[in-house]
Chains A and B, each alone.
Chain A
């Protein structure tokens, strides 16, 4: 963040002293952005007035600042990649980018950064692009306050909103992304920050992490995507204060964790998801101060997980609190608030005196035998659950909260 401001200030400073400003517009001498880029020197600023520009693929291969006044429209005519950036320290600010080409061979994007550093892309509106903003081999780049919209045409025909590949130290801040395949996609991206973005109605995931270590995402909202967030094959990922909401469907999760380790999940809200969190092969994860509310399953922990520490969370109004598929439990649950807890607190220390078992018998049955879902909400299943609560026999013995809270944790 600070870095971004510094870069900006440096650029402005530079412009004032050394750089020229080139004006482009229907009423100016220079009418096309392409020719402006052609005549500009390193460090110049190109100011583009409003209007529609159909210039095919604009390649920026020197350090330039492009600023749009009143959102000039760059139309890719469904054929071209609109802007390709192949130089360091380029700034793209205030454009409307429409109708990029679609291709399965070259990932056409609205704006694509090739192998560059310190590029800033901000305040743009992208509409109907295949990939929105695409970064490959990018370093220290900032993608900020952009609005991306696509019209999901199926998983194969649409691209990702912000797609980052083999990059480092990116800042993805304050964007809204709607209707793409993955809202934000990270593959081999390290040391990056994703903050205050909103992703909605994306076909696959709101945010997709693959092989990306040492990243943080915080204060984002993932609403009504195919699944909220998938974090796979990564480690040291911090997930803080995000909102996972209404990721509702047959195979939908708020947060999917697969083969991830050494991570933090703190202060998030999971609301109305089919499964709040689904963990498979995850290890050494701290989950604190999260709220799980009105989900189908608050959490599904497969037996392949270990050292997951779940403490100080609130579980309210979930149909099932925890689901699991085996009897091996290598995780700990402590001091959570469970609204289904029926125990008592004789010594008034606000901690229940008998342990709470968050796995119901019926959820075990369904896990082993999915067609048993047919009996969902029938008399017999509630009866089974009640007897199992009194005399636990089939549910994993060690999966319990020994110190359940009587009141909400926070």
Chain B
């Protein structure tokens, strides 16, 4: 873990996050607007970086993993400690880069929610990256898959949703949309935060339905459980695969 923290890319990532969030907050006179701009960064940059960094890291330490496997250690614990190490160090970078400015400028419930969602997204995409890395032996292909996955979650999925919305425009789709949003952690995080900001009123009937659901404690709990599932399921599959993998 310390070698992750010491890596130059990690430090640059932290500094970039810190610089953007500080400048965003000081540029906007309204802290809420700063938060909104920050939201875009969290939803695009954080998943991308978590995915890429984790995938590359796993491929680069392939030999080290082989060495560890030859030791009398459980494969499961090796894999899990890798993922925990990655998750913690990336989350730390996020907390320093985004968390500190947010807590400085926007010390309230929304700020906290933003932080929690950001950390969850980081961990989710570490888990997804590990799953991708364990599937494919070839490094280039693995990184390609990671980028594809990022494209899927931040772009293609939404495009697909838009397509569905137009195909089924004659049906009341507001409620099914809640379910659909659970299928993409980025969407789920975005909606959770947007509903807490007062722009939710703009979202009209859909917003009202979403607010009815995500505004309640039960809804928020379900949303967070869903996000946690997004960590556990890929992690479970990747551990399973790693256990049987022929290194």
Shortest A225–chain B CB gap in Å is 14
CB of A250 within 8 A of CB of B207, answer yes
- Knowing A374-B191, A379-B158 are in contact, say whether A369-B202 is a contact too (CB < 8 A): no
B173 in the interface (beta carbon within 8 A): yes
- Specify which chain A residues have a CB less than 8 angstroms from the CB of B39 in the assembled complex: 377
CB of A274 within 8 A of CB of B173, answer no
Shortest A58–chain B CB gap in Å is 44
Most chain B CB within 10 A, of A296, A297, A365, A378, is at A378
Binary interface encoding of chain B residues 115-158 relative to chain A, with 1 for a CB under 8 A from any of its CBs, else 0: 00000000000000000000000000000000000000011001
Which single member of A248, A274, A370, A375 contacts B161 (CB below 8 Å)?
A: A375
**Bound CA–CA A322/B76 (angstroms):** 56
- Specify which chain A residues have a CB less than 8 angstroms from the CB of B187 in the assembled complex: 374-375, 378
A26 in the interface (beta carbon within 8 A): no
CB of A374 within 8 A of CB of B161, answer yes
Interface residues of A in 270-318 (CB under 8 A from B): 274, 296-297
Which single member of A248, A368, A370, A381 contacts B204 (CB below 8 Å)?
A: A370
- Knowing A370-B205, A376-B194 are in contact, say whether A383-B155 is a contact too (CB < 8 A): yes
- Specify which chain B residues have a CB less than 8 angstroms from the CB of A374 in the assembled complex: 161, 177, 180-181, 187, 191, 206, 210
Which single member of A248, A274, A319, A379 contacts B155 (CB below 8 Å)?
A: A379
Shortest A42–chain B CB gap in Å is 55
- Specify which chain B residues have a CB less than 8 angstroms from the CB of A371 in the assembled complex: 165, 173-174, 177, 206
What's the dominant secondary structure at chain B's contact region? helix
Most chain A CB within 10 A, of B40, B162, B177, B180, is at B162
- Specify which chain A residues have a CB less than 8 angstroms from the CB of B220 in the assembled complex: none
A380 in the interface (beta carbon within 8 A): yes
- Knowing A365-B162, A380-B158, A380-B159 are in contact, say whether A373-B206 is a contact too (CB < 8 A): yes
**Bound CA–CA A381/B161 (angstroms):** 12
B203 in the interface (beta carbon within 8 A): yes
Shortest A110–chain B CB gap in Å is 33
A12 in the interface (beta carbon within 8 A): no
B208 in the interface (beta carbon within 8 A): yes
**Bound CA–CA A158/B121 (angstroms):** 48
Which single member of A297, A370, A372, A379 contacts B154 (CB below 8 Å)?
A: A379
A252 in the interface (beta carbon within 8 A): yes
CB of B174 within 8 A of CB of A380, answer no
**Bound CA–CA A392/B42 (angstroms):** 30
State how many residues of chain B have any CB contact under 8 Å with chain A: 35
Shortest A119–chain B CB gap in Å is 41
- Shortest Cβ distance from A296 into B: residue: B202
A326 in the interface (beta carbon within 8 A): no
- Shortest Cβ distance from A383 into B: residue: B155
Binary interface encoding of chain B residues 163-182 relative to chain A, with 1 for a CB under 8 A from any of its CBs, else 0: 00110010001100100110
Which single member of A250, A366, A380, A381 contacts B201 (CB below 8 Å)?
A: A250
Interface residues of A in 341-382 (CB under 8 A from B): 365-366, 368-381
CB of B165 within 8 A of CB of A372, answer yes
A249 in the interface (beta carbon within 8 A): yes
CB of A249 within 8 A of CB of B158, answer no
- Specify which chain B residues have a CB less than 8 angstroms from the CB of A381 in the assembled complex: 158
- Specify which chain B residues have a CB less than 8 angstroms from the CB of A383 in the assembled complex: 155
- Specify which chain A residues have a CB less than 8 angstroms from the CB of B162 in the assembled complex: 365, 372, 375, 380
Which single member of A248, A375, A377 contacts B198 (CB below 8 Å)?
A: A248
B36 in the interface (beta carbon within 8 A): yes
- Specify which chain B residues have a CB less than 8 angstroms from the CB of A375 in the assembled complex: 158, 161-162, 187
Binary interface encoding of chain B residues 43-58 relative to chain A, with 1 for a CB under 8 A from any of its CBs, else 0: 1100000000000000
Which single member of B36, B165, B201 contacts A377 (CB below 8 Å)?
A: B36
CB of A296 within 8 A of CB of B206, answer no
- Specify which chain B residues have a CB less than 8 angstroms from the CB of A378 in the assembled complex: 43, 154, 158, 186-187, 190
Given A319-B202, A375-B162, A379-B44: 18 more A-B contacts, CB < 8 Å: A250-B201, A296-B201, A297-B202, A319-B199, A365-B162, A366-B204, A371-B165, A371-B174, A372-B162, A372-B165, A373-B203, A374-B177, A374-B191, A374-B206, A375-B158, A377-B36, A377-B190, A383-B155
Question: Which 6 A-B residue pairs are closest in the complex by CB-CB distance?
Answer: A296-B202, A380-B158, A373-B203, A373-B206, A371-B173, A371-B206
25 of the cross-chain contacts (CB-CB < 8 Å) are: A248-B201, A249-B201, A250-B207, A250-B208, A251-B204, A252-B201, A274-B202, A296-B199, A296-B202, A365-B162, A368-B169, A369-B166, A372-B165, A373-B206, A373-B207, A374-B181, A377-B36, A377-B39, A377-B194, A378-B186, A379-B43, A379-B155, A380-B159, A381-B158, A383-B155
